[in-house]
């Protein structure tokens, strides 16, 4: 499924984020930046040690206390097909009363801002926060698709943003959100 937002295209596919041939894939990281499970683990195991080395440098030099929720940093893509990895920390779901939607929107927004600042044109996202962080996928999909649409309408240097969903069910949920928003 594909939509237009501003001059850019938004794609929704079922697939593996670590296989995407784009300027940057976005990692649903945790604040340590030192790896974890889920998509984070897959990126580090497939992308090789160079990514982790850069993450350690970023921790030491810029974020000694860890990367705050909603913030993003960029590293090489290591041995991945993607040229770069943008690491962002999504919110942990705590019932919805702790600004989770604002923080999730900020995570998408700041990832795209960092992509633009680095002259990137194509970016692929996973479903941030809906795995270990427990954010309900239906709620998260509306925030995710809405944030990307709003960003692309404002900023025309990106060419393509792709949501890479890991299951058919998640893809259907994101497609529904996109149909409602576009």
Q: Which residues are catalytic?
A: 40
> Residue 70 or 131: which CB sits closer to ligand ADP?
131
Among 51, 73, 128, 152, binds ligand ADP (CB under 6 A): 128
State in angstroms the smallest separation of the CB of 133 from ligand ADP: 3
Regarding 70 and contact with ligand ADP (CB under 6 A), the answer is no
Judged on CB neighbours under 10 Å (0-12, 13-18, 19+), 60 is exposed
**Nearest-angstrom CA–CA distance, 138 and 175:** 10
**Token pair for 110:** 């700041």
In DSSP terms, 12 is beta-bridged to: 163
Among 70, 90, 115, 143, binds ligand ADP (CB under 6 A): 90
* 149 to 178: interface string for ligand ADP, x by CB under 6 A: ---------------x-x---x--------
State in angstroms the smallest separation of the CB of 12 from ligand ADP: 12
Work out the angle at residue 5's Cα, subtended by the Cα atoms of residues 89 and 68, and round it to the nearest 5 degrees: 10
**In terms of Cα–Cα distance, which of 41, 121, 116, 108 is closest to 82?**
121
Q: Is the dihedral of CA 69, 96, 37, 79 positive or negative?
A: negative
Regarding 18 and contact with ligand ADP (CB under 6 A), the answer is yes
**In terms of Cα–Cα distance, which of 1, 20, 10 is closest to 159?**
10
State in angstroms the smallest separation of the CB of 160 from ligand ADP: 17
State in angstroms the smallest separation of the CB of 44 from ligand ADP: 11
Regarding 139 and contact with ligand ADP (CB under 6 A), the answer is no
**Token pair for 112:** 């795209």
**Nearest-angstrom CA–CA distance, 170 and 84:** 25
> Residue 27 or 75: which CB sits closer to ligand ADP?
27
Q: Which of the residues 21 through 60 are near ligand ADP (CB under 6 A)?
A: 28, 38-40, 42
């Amino acid at each position: 499924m594909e939509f237009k937002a501003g001059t850019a295209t938004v794609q929704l596919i079922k697939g593996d984020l670590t296989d995407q041939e784009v300027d940057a894939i976005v990692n649903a990281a945790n604040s340590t930046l030192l790896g974890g499970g889920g998509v984070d683990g897959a990126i580090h195991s497939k992308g090789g040690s160079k990514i982790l080395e850069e993450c350690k440098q970023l921790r030491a030099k810029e974020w000694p206390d860890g990367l705050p929720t909603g913030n993003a940093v960029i590293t090489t893509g290591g041995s991945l097909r993607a040229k770069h990895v943008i690491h962002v920390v999504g919110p942990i779901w705590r019932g919805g009363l702790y600004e989770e939607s604002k923080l999730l929107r900020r995570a998408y927004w700041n990832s795209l801002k960092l992509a633009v600042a680095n002259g990137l044109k194509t970016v692929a996202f996973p479903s941030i926060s809906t795995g270990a962080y427990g954010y309900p996928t239906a709620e998260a999909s509306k925030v995710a698709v809405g944030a990307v649409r709003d960003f692309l309408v404002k900023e025309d240097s990106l060419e393509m943003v792709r949501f890479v969903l890991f299951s058919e069910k998640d893809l259907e949920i994101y497609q529904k959100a996109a149909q409602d928003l576009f």
